[in-house]
Amino acid sequence: MSSSTHDTPGRAGVPGTPRGARARARIEVTEAIKDEARRQLAVDGAAKLSLRAVARELGMVSSALYRYFPSRDDLLTALIIDAYDSLGETAETAHDAVADAGPVRRWTAVCEAVRAWALAHPHEYALIYGSPVPGYTAPRTTVPPAARVGLLLIRIVRDAHRGQGVAKTPLPTELRTEAERLAADVAPDLPPEVVAVLVAAWAELYGLVGFEVFGQFNRIVEDREPFFRHAVARLAHSVGLVHG
Amino acid sequence: MSSSTHDTPGRAGVPGTPRGARARARIEVTEAIKDEARRQLAVDGAAKLSLRAVARELGMVSSALYRYFPSRDDLLTALIIDAYDSLGETAETAHDAVADAGPVRRWTAVCEAVRAWALAHPHEYALIYGSPVPGYTAPRTTVPPAARVGLLLIRIVRDAHRGQGVAKTPLPTELRTEAERLAADVAPDLPPEVVAVLVAAWAELYGLVGFEVFGQFNRIVEDREPFFRHAVARLAHSVGLVHG
DNA sequence: ACACAAACGAGAGCAGTGCTCTTGCTTTGG
DNA sequence: CCAAAGCAAGAGCACTGCTCTCGTTTGTGT
């Protein structure tokens, strides 16, 4: 590969990002590996993702692949991060397209984007919201990408609650302190009552999406789009969003 | 097992259910295999469940195991069915203990039983509500066990709605026909408005449980029991249940 | 009571896997 | 210009799911 480009990056070269032709080739190969792995993921699922098969398809030998990913789980981790980012970006794009609309509209736009992405990439969705890989615990690197959708939902609710306070159901005393800590962590400017139901709605959204993607609605819910829309509108209502 | 026991089970044997000593031995070995598989499942997760390791632990050779389960996936299927049944029975027991209480109490009892079972058996929960096994589609045999919790929730809501109609939010027209079909399928005596939100609440319950079991609440929700109780109480409210 | 068929456990073997280690070659930087 | 680092290739280890064959055990119809 690469032979074409006019290389000789020069002594100095760009001081910034890629230090030379080798570095560029490295990220190119790394990306090719991830692409091929994603292809196999989409076909056979994560469990059958085989390093050897990826290498074979790329015309290299399996051991060469370990120069780029120290283990199969590390490849999976890379795919997980990419999946979180892909989902997050999809959601953000969908949100920005209706950024000027009312909070309910923005909320449903995000939820429907999540659902659409999940249906379009079921195996990648399974990777990030399905059963976690057995031995493996997600490195801290995955945290920011994983938070993107949640932060979006928080932002929508925050905008809606700015100024006019919405009627909020009181918290049970046993949840009081936890809700306050939670609110201080994720949305200091929102009342704890709202944050508690918002986090719940966040999880419930993925319950709806997961049931559809994983086939739990088979032979039960048939016309799923209006069903989802209705459920998501009720979630919006439950966190205090109103039209307008 | 084996060599020690006094064997020679006798000619006739019990004429009833198991047709002979051989049939009895068969279900015994089958059960032993499932037990050992469940043990390994609890330790390493489904992905690392190894037929050979199970056989090794049981003192038999791997090929012998294929007399009982034609493939690894069939073993997993058996474990899936058992998991659904275990969860269903746990939920039913928890419900029956408060069968005379009000609908909200019964609802939360079931939800908390689901959560407790999931936390106690995370890998089995992942097996039935996590990412589905790649190639594999659940046989019809899994349908009845899988339905037990859902039917329980339906029963609670049906009892509560018997007689006094509860205020129901109107359905969007696009969901009208689907909700009616859905209601006719799962709960003909409930109004479609209620069935639609009930099915949504059912999925949302597993969103809450799944996020906790799969670690999505790590570093976010700390005191999870009151959080869950509050969310579940709101779900009960959303399907029209009231105390009393 | 005997014989035949089905069920069974053991072993060898195939193709595939993740991963390690060693061997040479090429690029890079001092 | 040369040593050091990066790289691809190959052999090899321990493991997997699964198949096939081969004697043996067990249950049953005659």
Domain boundaries, chain B: 21-65, 78-238
- HEC assignment per residue over chain A: CCCCCCCCCCCCCCCCCCCCHHHHHHHHHHHHHHHHHHHHHHHHCHHHCCHHHHHHHCCCCHHHHCCCCCCHHHHHHHHHHHHHHHHHHHHHHHHHCCCCCCHHHHHHHHHHHHHHHHHHCHHHHHHHHCCCCCCCCCCHHHHHHHHHHHHHHHHHHHHHHCCCCCCCCCCCHHHHHHHHHHHHHHCCCCCHHHHHHHHHHHHHHHHHHHHHHCCCCCCCCCCHHHHHHHHHHHHHHHCCCCCC
Report chain A's C-alpha Rg in angstroms. 22
Structure tokens at B120: 């106690």
Window 208-237 of B: residues touching A by CB (8 A cutoff) are 208, 210-211, 214-217, 220-223, 226-227, 229-231, 233-234
Cβ pair A230:B206 closer than 8 A: no
Q: Residue A28: which of A58, A70, A73 has the closest Cα? A: A58
Q: Specify the CATH class of A80-238 in words.
A: mainly alpha
Contacts of A222 in chain B (CB under 8 A): 178, 181-182
Instruction: Return per-residue pLDDT of chain B as tens, 244 residues.
Output: 333 333 333 333 344 445 677 788 899 999 999 999 999 999 999 999 999 999 999 999 999 999 999 999 999 999 999 999 999 999 999 999 999 999 999 999 999 999 999 999 999 999 999 998 765 677 788 889 999 999 999 999 999 988 565 667 889 999 999 999 999 999 999 999 999 999 999 999 999 999 999 999 999 999 999 999 999 999 999 999 998 7
Using one digit for the tens of pLDDT, what is the confidence trace for B162-214? 856 566 788 999 999 999 999 999 999 999 999 999 999 999 999 999 999 99
Collect all residues with Cβ–Cβ distance below 8 Å to B44 and sequence separation of at least 6: A134, A135
Q: Are B59 and B2 in contact (CB under 8 A)?
A: yes
Sign of CA pseudo-dihedral A228, A230, A235, A240:
positive
**Is the CB of residue B29 inside 7 Å of nucleic acid strand C?**
yes
What is the identity of the amino acid at A159? D
CATH topology of domain B78-238: Tetracycline Repressor; domain 2 (1.10.357)
Minimal C-alpha gap between A75 and chain B (Å): 16
Instruction: Report CA B44 to chain centroid distance, whole Å.
Output: 20
